[in-house]
Amino acid sequence: MTSTTSTANKMTVPGLARMKAEQQPITMLTAYDASFARLVDASGVDCVLVGDSLGNVIQGLDNTLGVSVDHMVYHVAAVRRGLNRALLVADLPFLAYHDRASALASSGRLVQAGAEMVKLEGGAALAPQVTALVEQGIPVCAHLGLTPQHVHQLGGYRVQGREASVAERLKADAHALEDAGAGLLVLECVPAELAREVAAALRIPVIGIGAGAQVDGQVLVVYDVLGISPPPRPRFVKDFMADHGDIGTALAAYVEAVRTGAFPGAEHTYR
């Protein structure tokens, strides 16, 4: 029998949609283990992302391409044990969703480890995978702009969408993914005006990272927020530890800064 009791204020996918409708900024941070998950959850953040950025920050790799579904499952299960309120979003790693069957198999493992939504990188070509997942009850977060799994194709970690043709393609991809059933969109490293247009045009919430302030929420890698990541740091990163004496206060300051609109500032934004 399904339990009808739930944690008060537990964040859900419909809850995120309501936040967009009510113009409440959505906060998201990454976590990769139970201890950080507990700290991040206690900060009041709405979503925790087990990102394949764990390839960089946990495994010390140059990119995310070496991360496997097994790695993701291990970290999702650990984060699950540390969470209480936040929605757990998990990245599908490189080549784990190249067709509907692989997307369903990989996502099934992530959900059984505790994920409540899966994230995938890429545009309209992924619409069949998105629809297949949503039809099986697995919510999907899309990811456009700078998609680190395409680093070789993009020629590095660069701002995306400054050229009109790329901006138009990104907008078309965003609509196609929403129409396919995506419930959330992450936009990484795109000019603020383009991100604003996409967030205004879509019904689903748009979470930015290096996408300016006029989107529906923000995400950062937790180690960037705590000043742990080695330089050079991207423009969109802010070290909240610099002005706060402990991890809990720094994480709460990030959440508060996103909610009040104090972060990101112009200095964190691309034109």
Among the residue ranges 51-59, 191-199, 254-262, 263-271, the one whose residues contact ligand KIV (CB under 6 A): 51-59
- CB nearer ligand KIV, residue 91 or residue 116: 91
What residue has token string 């990245």? Answer: 91
First to last CA, the chain: 52
Applying CB under 6 A, the span of 11-19, 48-56, 159-167, 236-244 interacting with ligand KIV comes to 48-56
Instruction: Identify the residue among 69, 86, 89, 209 touching ligand KIV (CB under 6 A).
Output: 209
Of 233, 183, 219, which is closest to residue 12 (Cα–Cα)? 183
Least separation, in Å, of the C-beta of 148 and ligand KIV?
7
DSSP annotation of 1: -
Site string for ligand KIV, 151-190 (x = CB under 6 A): -----------------------------------x-x--
Chain residue whose CB lies nearest ligand KIV: 51
| Contact status: 210 vs ligand KIV (CB under 6 A) | no
- Side chain identity, residue 142: A
Q: Which of 11, 16, 26, 52 binds ligand KIV (CB under 6 A)?
A: 52
Residue 46 interacting with ligand KIV (CB under 6 A): no
Considering beta carbons, is residue 111 or 142 the nearer one to ligand KIV? 142
Note whether 53 binds ligand KIV by CB under 6 A.
yes
Per CB under 6 A, which region of 44-52, 103-111, 126-134, 263-271 contacts ligand KIV? 44-52
Choice between 95 and 101, CB closer to ligand KIV: 95
Single out the residue of 27, 30, 106, 160 in contact with ligand KIV (rule: CB under 6 A).
30
Q: How far apart are CA 66 and CA 81, in angstroms?
A: 25
Q: 171: Cβ–Cβ under 8 A, 6 or more apart, which residues?
A: 194, 197, 198, 201
Q: Which of 238, 264, 219 is nearest to 49 (CA)?
A: 219
Among 221, 222, 247, 257, binds ligand KIV (CB under 6 A): 221
CB 84 to ligand KIV: min, Å: 21
Of 60 and 245, nearer to ligand KIV (C-beta) is 60
| Cα angle, residue 188 at apex, residues 185 and 191 outer, rounded to 5° | 110
Distance CA 114, CA 192 (A): 33
Pick the closest to residue 91 from 159, 109, 228 (CA basis).
Answer: 109
Helix axes 69-82, 34-42, angle to 10 degrees: 50
Cβ contacts of 194 within 8 Å, gap of 6 or more: 161, 167, 170, 171
Q: Which helix (H) or strand (E) holds 118?
A: strand 117-121
Task: Give me the least distance between CB of 67 and ligand KIV, in Å please.
Answer: 9
Give the residue numbers annotated as catalytic, written as ranges: 188
| Residues engaged in binding ligand KIV (CB under 6 A) | 30, 49, 51-53, 91, 186, 188, 209, 219, 221
